[in-house]
Copies of this chain bind each other. A is one copy, B any other.
Amino acid sequence: MESRFERGLRKLGEIDGEQGDRIVAGLADIAPDFARYLIEFPFGDIYARPGLDLRTREIATVAALTAMGTALPQLKVHIQGALNVGCSRVEITEAIMQMAVFAGFPAALNGLAAAKAVFAGRASD
């Protein structure tokens, strides 16, 4: 049986690809246990759950991080993640724009700037 850690690592790879590796590596010398928690709880527990498909999970995360406005690096990671799991650029852009309604225009503008930067760094999806 797959452990939480193994399942989380698999899920993290599926969503974040090599970005996930970089985040985990960045924690190695300051908080290695936190890298393990990050793999186990968000990815091994939550993202691995049935009941909501991965594409919708990533749209929900992109929307929430856009609305919060306090986690720009993570927003970029999850815009990549959304693309990796099959969301289209249009779907991501729509979810970010929608946040103008709930969190204001600055939140949406900063989210769109993040998306623009991510999209520019990838071959077309």
The interface of chain A, by Cβ under 8 A from chain B, is 23, 26-27, 29-31, 33-34, 37-38, 41-42, 45-47, 49, 51-52, 56-57, 59-71, 73-74, 90-91, 93-110, 112-113, 115-116, 119
30 contacts between A and B (CB under 8 A): A26-B113, A27-B112, A30-B112, A30-B115, A30-B116, A31-B112, A33-B97, A34-B108, A47-B98, A51-B90, A52-B95, A56-B59, A57-B98, A59-B59, A60-B62, A60-B64, A60-B95, A64-B66, A64-B103, A67-B67, A68-B70, A68-B102, A69-B71, A71-B107, A73-B109, A74-B106, A74-B110, A99-B104, A102-B105, A103-B104
B93 to A30, Cβ gap below 8 A?
yes
A97 to B46, Cβ gap below 8 A?
yes
